[in-house]
Amino acid sequence: MKKYDVCVIKGDGIGPEIIEEAIKVLDAVSHKFNFELNFDYRLMGGAAIDIMGVPLPDETLNAAKSSDAVLFGAIGGAKWDGLPRELRPESGLLKIRKELGAFANLRPAMIFDELINASTLKPEIIKGVDIMVVRELTGGIYFGQPRVKNEKDALNTMCYNATEIERVAKVAFEAALLRNKKITLVDKANVLETSQLWREVVSELAKNYAGINLEFMYVDNAAMQLVRAPAQFDVILTENLFGDILSDEASMICGSIGLLPSASIGGKVGIYEPIHGSAPDIAGQGIANPIATILSAAMMLKYAFGENEAAAAIESAVRAVLRDGYRTKDIAQYDAKEICSTAEIGSIIADYAAKA
């Protein structure tokens, strides 16, 4: 029997609730497909600050580095907003991504036919949309040095080198090979030297992928096109700041941020997490939607472990549950036959996955 070690970081707000449901589903498919998951629970974010005084304790980082994958919920909340930047929960997430070498963030944005009316866009505009945003995650302006702030001015620097660009571009090209063989590089090459380097490096790499259609689009146009005609996109490749913004935009055209997963990969250990935040305003009420976390767990099975059958069973179970009308409160207005709590819908998905 294959065995995998998973570092589990529940985090803050709704993090513990949604992670519990993902674990429930993982237990179901691991039994069905005959592999074993060893879960090692660790602290990060506000929960770690309250107990250990830092957002990312060394014990958590070491456990993550020695695991096969990290399954993560969400961090942050108003409780910790007044802390210095280096002590805020979010700094722990930035650091663990950097330390694990998780330089490529994969964010699928797909339309579930059963929830097509949940989007603010017309059904005929979004039907069939299936986008993969590949965002560079450990470079760019978020990590640029120097960074300065005083009373009169502030400075952040955006820096990229060819190696950083090429390695994330390879991830995008490999993803495109398994999809519709189209990549849109989103940049601002008309005004930014970093974007000009992106175009040069990606264009050179494209020579090794003759079957891929590579196109270029300025970020402001891409933001408009995602709303005007999102079905034109297959794989979107972009740098850290642009990817942060565009992936959130892409997620919202799908109707609910509670449905979409992500994977941060590239190093030895990847991080798998929902794209939404910790939502402290609904924590503990049993109304959070765990589907994004459950689908993140499916991405973990696929990308970290190669357990493709188990991942497909989870994805099929989610679609079947939505088809059969089970909904959490956030999507209850869209053809709900039964409104479920966080734990209830997790159990139903686990049951469907075990029978898939």
Which residues are part of the catalytic machinery?
142, 188, 220, 244, 248
Question: Which parts of 246-317 are beta strand (E)?
Answer: 261-265, 270-274
134: number of Cβ within 10 Å: 26
Beta bridge partners of 104: 136, 265
* Nearest-angstrom CA–CA distance, 242 and 194: 12
Pairing of β 104-110 and β 130-136: antiparallel
Residue found by looking up tokens 């099929």 in the block: 316
b vs e for 141-153, b when ≥16 Cβ sit within 10 Å of the residue's Cβ?
Answer: bbbbeeeeeeeee
Say if residues 7 and 63 touch (Cβ distance below 8 Å): yes
Instruction: Give strand pairing partners of 272.
Output: 71, 263
What is the number of alpha carbons within 13 Å of residue 89 lying toward its C-beta? 24
The three-state secondary structure class of 141 is: helix
**Cis link prior to 108 (omega < 30° from 0)?**
no
d(CA 57, CA 323): 42
Q: How far is CA 120 from the centre of its chain?
A: 22
Around 336, how many Cα atoms within 13 Å sit in the side-chain half-sphere?
Answer: 15
